[in-house]
Structure 1
Amino acid sequence: MKNLQNNSILKAVIAILFVAGLAYAYKANADLNVVKTALKAEATKKELALKELLELKATYDVAIAENTSLSEELMQERDKVVSLLAALSTCEGGDVGSMLKYKKQFYVLQNKMKVLIAEKERLKNENALVTSQRDSTTVVLEESKITNKLLSSHNKALINTVEKGSKILLLNLKVAAFKVKSSGKQIPTDKANRTDILKISFTIAENQIAKATEKTYYIQVVDSENNIVGNKKTANFGTASLEYSLVTKVRYANQTIQVHEELPSMHFIKGDYKIAVFDARELVLDSSFILR
C-alpha cells in the first residue's frame, strides 16, 4: 500500500516537472522570436537610412556635375553625407538611440541640400535669362527697322551685352491687358477692342555693389502699325532723343524692387505689340505680346 502511494507521488512530481519544462521551452522560444523580430526591424531601419543617404548623395552628385558657382559648397555638404554613410555602414548596433542620432543628422543634411539646390536653380534661371537677353540683342537689331528712325540711332547700345559687377539688372518684363468696367472693376482680356489699359511690370534685381540712386526708366509700347501707344512723349539726351509711352521713377537702394505701371489708351488695334524699357538712351529690357 505504501509503495503504491509513493508511486503516485512520483508520477505527480514527474507530471509537474514535464509541464514546467514545456512552459519554459515555450517562453524561451517566444523570447527568441521577439529578439529575431527586433533584430530584423532594426536591420530594416538601417537599410532605409542607408538608402535615404545614398539618394541624398546622388542628388548632390547631379548638382555638382552642373559646375555652378555653388559647386564647392555642394561638395562640402556631399562629403558630410559620405561620412555619415560610412559611419552608418560600419555601425553594428541598431538601438533606437543610435538610429535617432543618424535620423537627426540626415534631416539636417537634407534640409541644407534643399536650400542649396533651390539657390542653384535660382542662379541657373538668372544666368539663362542673362544669356537670353544677350542672344536677343542681334534679333532686336534686325527688328529695329520696324520701329522708327529713333531706334536705329540706338544700334550701338543694343549691341552691348549685359554688364556685370555694378550693373543694375532688369528682369521679368510682363504685360497684361484689362477692360475697365464702369464700376472700376478690371477684367483680364486679350482682345484689342475690349482693352482699356495695359498693366506693365518688371523686376529690378538686387545688387549690393551697385550705387544707390534714383532711376528713371522710359517705357515704349509700339503697336503692329509702328505707332507709339498712349500719349507719345519725347525725352532728349544731348543730340539724341527718345519717344516713349510712359516714364517711371524708382528709388533704388540695392534691394529687389517690383515696378508696376498702367498705360491707358482710347484705341488699341489688333496685332503684335513690342514693349521696351530704356535707361536713358540704353535699351535694358524688351518683350512682345499680342492683342486679338
Structure 2
Amino acid sequence: MTSETTTNKSNNSGLKAIIAILALLLLGSLGYMYKLSTDSQNALSLVKGEKESVMKDLEVSKQSLDEAIASNTTLSDELIAERDKIQQLMADLEKTKGNDAATISKYKEEAKRVQAKIAVLMKQIEGLQKENANLNTKIDSTNTVLTQTRTVNDTLMSQNNNLAKTVERGSKLSVLNLQTLAVKQKSSGKQVETDKANRADVLKVSFMIAENQIAKSGDKAYYVQIIDSKSNVLGDKKTESFGEKSLTYSFIATVKYENKTVKIEKDLPVTNIQEGTFFVNVFDKSELVSKSSFTLR
C-alpha cells in the first residue's frame, strides 16, 4: 500500500511537471505569435505611412509644376513631360495594396529621381525669371529715356513751330499809307488834283512798304483793285487765280524790295467815271494787305 501510494504520488508529480512545461510552451507560443502580429501591424503601418508620404511629395511636386507651366516659360514642354511622369507615378502608387514595402520603396526612389529633375528645371526657371526681370528693368529704363526724349523732341518741335510762325508773321511786309488822288491831266503834262468825277482822267495810287530786316528781299508784286460805286472794277479788269481763289484786279504794282522802306506809285488812266465812293484794295496774291476809299462828286 505504501509503495503504490508512493508510485501514484510520483506519477502525479511528473504529470504536473509536464502540464507546467506545456503551459509554459503555450504561453511562449502565444507571446511569440503576439509579437509577430504586433511587428506585422507596425510594418504595415510603416509601409502605409511611407506610401502617404510619397503621395504627398508627388502632389506637392505636381502643384509646383502646374504653377511653373502656367508662367509660360521656354521650358514648358519639359515641365509638362515631368508633370505627366508625376501623374503616372501617383496613379500607379494609388493602385498598390499598401503592404508591399519593396514596391513602395521603388516608387519612393522613382519619386526622388523625378523630384531631382524638377529641382534642376526650377533652378533654370528661376535663372530665366531673373534674366527677364533684368531685361524688363532695362526695357523700362529705355522706355523712360525714350519717353523723355520724345517729350523733349515734342517740346522742341512745338517751340520750333511757334518760332517759325513768329518768323513767318514777322517776315510779312506791312503796306502803309495807301492813298488815291483823282487828277486832271493837262495838255502841258501838268496834273491837277480834282474831286469831280467828270474832270478826273487819272487816278494816282501810292502806298509804302515798311522796312523789315527778316523779310525775304527781291521783286515784289502787288495786285491793286479799284472798285467804283456800281461795283465795277476799273483798269485792266484781269483775273488771276490763286489756288481755289481768284482775283479781278485793276493793275499790278511791282517793286524791287531790299528790306528798306520803299514807296510805290502807279497812275491808272480812267474815262467817264461816275460820281460816288470808290474802294481801293491792295492784295499780296490772294491776301488783302491794305484798303482805303475816296469819294468823287
* Structure having the higher Rg: 2
TM-score by length of 1: 0.45
Q: What TM-score, normalized by structure 2, do the two folds share?
A: 0.45
